[in-house]
Structure 1
Amino acid sequence: MEEKHDSFQEVDPDHSEDESSPVTGLETALEECWVALHLFLNNRFADALAALRPRKSRSMYHAVGYSSILLMQAAMTFDPKDMDVAMEALRESLHICQRFRRKTGIMASLASLWNGQTVDMTEEEMHAELCYAEVLMQKAVLTFLDDSVVSFIKGGMGMRNSFQIYKNCQAVENSRTSAEKQKSTHVHFQGGVNMGIGSFNLILSLLPSNVLRLMEFLGFSGDRELGLSELREGATSDSLRSILSTLTLLMFHLYITVTLGTGDVNLTEAEALLKPFAENFPNGALVLFYTARIAVLKGAFTFAQEKFLECIATQKEWRQIHHLCYWELMWAYSFEQNWMEAYRYANLLCKENKWSQATYVFQKAAILSMLPEEEVTKLGENVATLFRQVDGLRIRLAGKSIPTEKFAAKKAQRFSSLNPGKLIVPALEMMYVWNGFKVVGKRPELTENILSTLEKAEERLRKDPSPSEFHLDDLCVVQLLKGLCLTQLGHLVQAELCLRYVISSDKNIKHDTYLVPYAMYELGLLYRQKGDVQTAITVIENAKLNYRDYSMESRLHFRIHAALNTMGSFEAKLPPSRTPA
Structure 2
Amino acid sequence: MSRKEAHLQDSDRRRQDWELARKGIQLILNNKYEDALKIFENREDSIPLSAGYLFTIFMNAAMSFDDAVLTLSLNTLKDLETRCSQNLGWLRTFKNKVFGNYNDVSPYELLEQQITLADTQVCHAVLYMMTEDSTAGLVKGAWALRKAWGLYHSAYKELATQYKKIYGFSANLPETPSMWRLSESANNTPNSTPATTPVSPGEPPHLQFAEPSNSGIRKRLYQFFSPVSTPQICPEEVKRLMCAVSFGYGLFHLCVSLLPTSALRFVHILGFASDRKVGIEALMFSRSGPDMRAPLASLALLWYHTVVNPSFIHFNSDDLSTSVEEAEAIINESNHEFSESSIFLFFKARLYRLKKKIDEAVSTYTKAVKYSGIRELAVLCLHEVGWCYLMQLEFQKALKSFNQLKKNESIKHLYSYLAALCHGCMDDMNMVAVMSQNIKLIEMEKQCELDPKISRRSGLLMPPKSPFYYRLLTYEMLYLWDSLPSQEDIIIIVQDCEDQGDPLKHSKNVDPIVGLRPLILGVCLGCLGRREEAINLLSSIRGQREKLVVDKGTRRGYRHIAAFAMYETAMLLMKEGNSREAKELLDTILHQYSSYDFENRLNFKIHSALKEIAAAS
Equivalent in the alignment of 1:477:
516
Q: In 1, are the aligned partners of 2:409 and 2:448 still within 8 Å (CA)?
A: no
Equivalent in the alignment of 1:490:
529
Matched, 1:296 2:353: yes
Q: In 1, are the aligned partners of 2:286 and 2:297 still within 8 Å (CA)?
A: yes
Equivalent in the alignment of 2:182:
none
Matched, 1:249 2:249: no
Give the alignment partner of residue 68 of structure 1, picking from 55, 68, 72: 55
Query: What is the CA deviation profile of residues 302-359 of structure 1, one whole-angstrom value per residue up to 9, with x for unaligned ones?
Result: 01111111111123x31211111111111111111000111111122211362x4432
Give the alignment partner of residue 314 of structure 1, picking from 361, 367, 371: 371
Cα distance between partner residues in 2 of 1:199 and 1:270: 16
Query: Cα offset for 1:294?
Result: 0.1
Cα distance between partner residues in 2 of 1:295 and 1:312: 16
Matched, 1:129 2:114: yes
Relative to 1, partners in 2 of residues 1:453 and 1:553: Cα closer, same or farther, differing over 3 Å?
same
Equivalent in the alignment of 2:384:
328
Matched, 1:194 2:246: yes
> What pairs up with 1:352-391 in 2 under 5 angstroms?
352=408, 354=410, 356-373=411-428, 377=431, 382-388=434-440, 391=443
Cα distance between partner residues in 1 of 2:609 and 2:302: 20
Cα distance between partner residues in 1 of 2:35 and 2:503: 58
Equivalent in the alignment of 2:153:
167
SS in structure 1 at match of 2:460: helix
Gaps in structure 2 of 5+ consecutive residues: 1-5, 97-104, 167-204, 208-232
SS in structure 1 at match of 2:593: coil
Equivalent in the alignment of 1:429:
476
Q: In 2, are the aligned partners of 1:486 and 1:495 still within 8 Å (CA)?
A: yes
Cα distance between partner residues in 1 of 2:441 and 2:94: 54
Query: Cα offset for 1:122?
Result: 1.8
Cα distance between partner residues in 2 of 1:35 and 1:415: 51
SS in structure 2 at match of 1:37: helix
Give the alignment partner of residue 501 of structure 1, picking from 540, 548, 560: 540
> What pairs up with 1:231-310 in 2 under 5 angstroms?
231-259=283-311, 262=314, 265=320, 266-310=323-367
Query: What is the CA deviation profile of residues 41-78 of structure 1, one whole-angstrom value per residue up to 9, with x for unaligned ones?
Result: 22101101101212x01111111112322333344444
Relative to 1, partners in 2 of residues 1:187 and 1:514: Cα closer, same or farther, differing over 3 Å?
same
Matched, 1:448 2:491: yes
Cα distance between partner residues in 2 of 1:150 and 1:411: 24
Cα distance between partner residues in 1 of 2:496 and 2:134: 44
Q: In 2, are the aligned partners of 1:200 and 1:227 still within 8 Å (CA)?
A: yes
Relative to 1, partners in 2 of residues 1:488 and 1:107: Cα closer, same or farther, differing over 3 Å?
farther
Higher mean displacement: 491-500 or 179-188? 179-188
Tell me the amino acid that sits aligned with residue 281 of structure 1. Answer: F
Matched, 1:346 2:402: yes
Gaps in structure 1 of 5+ consecutive residues: 1-17, 110-119, 572-581
> What pairs up with 1:93-108 in 2 under 5 angstroms?
93-98=80-85, 101=88
Matched, 1:41 2:29: yes
Equivalent in the alignment of 1:9:
none
Matched, 1:517 2:563: yes
> What pairs up with 1:520-531 in 2 under 5 angstroms?
520-531=566-577
Equivalent in the alignment of 1:536:
582
Query: What is the CA deviation profile of residues 22-56 of structure 1, one whole-angstrom value per residue up to 9, with x for unaligned ones?
Result: 322211111111221221222101101101212x0
Give the alignment partner of residue 410 of structure 1, picking from 445, 449, 456: 456
SS in structure 2 at match of 1:97: helix
Query: What is the CA deviation profile of residues 448-471 of structure 1, one whole-angstrom value per residue up to 9, with x for unaligned ones?
Result: 122223234413797335x8xxx5
Give the alignment partner of residue 549 of structure 1, picking from 595, 602, 615: 595
Relative to 1, partners in 2 of residues 1:100 and 1:140: Cα closer, same or farther, differing over 3 Å?
same
Query: Cα offset for 1:368?
Result: 2.5
Query: Cα offset for 1:281?
Result: 1.6
Matched, 1:32 2:89: no
SS in structure 2 at match of 1:299: coil
Query: Cα offset for 1:549?
Result: 3.2
Q: In 1, are the aligned partners of 2:19 and 2:292 still within 8 Å (CA)?
A: no
SS in structure 1 at match of 2:240: helix
Instruction: Tell me the C-alpha RMSD between the 2 structures.
Output: 3.4
Relative to 1, partners in 2 of residues 1:25 and 1:483: Cα closer, same or farther, differing over 3 Å?
same
Equivalent in the alignment of 1:12:
none
SS in structure 2 at match of 1:372: coil
Give the TM-score normalised by the residue count of structure 1: 0.80
Q: In 2, are the aligned partners of 1:100 and 1:124 still within 8 Å (CA)?
A: no
Q: In 2, are the aligned partners of 1:323 and 1:349 still within 8 Å (CA)?
A: yes
Cα distance between partner residues in 1 of 2:328 and 2:55: 25
Query: Cα offset for 1:224?
Result: 1.8
Cα distance between partner residues in 1 of 2:474 and 2:45: 52
Cα distance between partner residues in 2 of 1:146 and 1:452: 39
Cα distance between partner residues in 1 of 2:136 and 2:565: 36
SS in structure 2 at match of 1:333: helix
Tell me the amino acid that sits aligned with residue 109 of structure 2. Answer: E
Query: Cα offset for 1:387?
Result: 4.8
> What pairs up with 1:217-236 in 2 under 5 angstroms?
217-236=269-288
Tell me the amino acid that sits aligned with residue 473 of structure 2. Answer: P
Cα distance between partner residues in 1 of 2:614 and 2:577: 14
SS in structure 2 at match of 1:549: coil
Tell me the amino acid that sits aligned with residue 435 of structure 1. Answer: D
Cα distance between partner residues in 2 of 1:461 and 1:63: 68
Query: What is the CA deviation profile of residues 135-180 of structure 1, one whole-angstrom value per residue up to 9, with x for unaligned ones?
Result: 3433565577888999958766544323321222122223324255
Q: In 1, are the aligned partners of 2:122 and 2:145 still within 8 Å (CA)?
A: yes
Which structure would you say has the larger Rg? 2
Equivalent in the alignment of 2:224:
none
Query: Cα offset for 1:182?
Result: 5.6
Tell me the amino acid that sits aligned with residue 332 of structure 2. Answer: K
Equivalent in the alignment of 2:180:
none
Give the TM-score normalised by the residue count of structure 2: 0.76
Equivalent in the alignment of 2:506:
463
Relative to 1, partners in 2 of residues 1:186 and 1:149: Cα closer, same or farther, differing over 3 Å?
same
Query: Cα offset for 1:251?
Result: 1.3
Matched, 1:211 2:253: no
Relative to 1, partners in 2 of residues 1:341 and 1:507: Cα closer, same or farther, differing over 3 Å?
same
Cα distance between partner residues in 2 of 1:499 and 1:412: 25
Query: Cα offset for 1:278?
Result: 1.6
Tell me the amino acid that sits aligned with residue 497 of structure 1. Answer: N
Aligned identity (percent) is: 21
Q: In 2, are the aligned partners of 1:19 and 1:25 still within 8 Å (CA)?
A: no
SS in structure 1 at match of 2:559: coil
Q: In 2, are the aligned partners of 1:192 and 1:241 still within 8 Å (CA)?
A: yes
SS in structure 1 at match of 2:119: helix
SS in structure 1 at match of 2:156: helix
SS in structure 2 at match of 1:548: coil
Query: Cα offset for 1:515?
Result: 1.2
Query: Cα offset for 1:570?
Result: 9.3
Query: Cα offset for 1:94?
Result: 3.2
Relative to 1, partners in 2 of residues 1:100 and 1:278: Cα closer, same or farther, differing over 3 Å?
farther
SS in structure 2 at match of 1:171: helix
SS in structure 2 at match of 1:567: helix
